[in-house]
Amino acid sequence: MPEDKLSVDGHSPVDIDISIEAGAWPNEVSLTRLVDRAVDAAFAETGVTGHSELSIVFSDDAHIQTLNAGWRGKDKPTNVLSFPAFPYVQGKPLPPMLGDIVLAAETVSREAALEDKPVENHITHLVIHGLLHLLGHDHETDAEAEEMEAIERAALARLAIPDPYA
């Protein structure tokens, strides 16, 4: 499927490019709605302002496994990976391009089924999670994880999506 440039509804600080490369995903209209809402909620919770671009790639386990092996040394699929284009320093203006978020269809679907939640909710959560990584958040330490998860919970609550960590 060709890449289409899809811009969020005008009040979000990012223009979003969505690419559906592989995997069984909801249709493009549904994905666009999920991504727009997730990005808006994440930016509302972080208070980040400015203007930037963001790319979101919907792919499959094979592609994300290759990326995960090459970039992180982990030769296995994962649900989401984030690749910053430029480092973002909290409190500073957004860079011209935030980076890429890549999701893997089979892993996302499997996790949603195991956790007995709608795949749309899981996609929304993972887009928020990936975006927070591009905005400088991490979960390497317990304190970082608690801070990042609190933002995720608050952003999801804005969308009436239950706490994924409960």
- Does 161 score more than 50 pLDDT? yes
Distances (CA, A) of 150 to 61, 73, 92, 130, 165: 28, 28, 22, 14, 10
| pLDDT tens-digit readout, 29-47 | 999 999 999 999 999 999 8
Token pair belonging to 160: 């009436």
For residue 16, list its beta bridge partners: 6, 54
| pLDDT tens-digit readout, 96-113 | 999 999 999 999 999 999
pTM for this model (two decimals): 0.91
Token pair belonging to 78: 């994962």
Please check whether residue 158 is in contact with residue 44, taking contact to mean a CB–CB distance below 8 angstroms: yes
- To which residue do tokens 């930016």 refer? 43
Angle of helix 119-134 relative to helix 105-114, nearest 10 degrees? 120
Please report the domains of the chain, with CATH numbers, ordered by start residue: 4-158 (3.40.390.30)
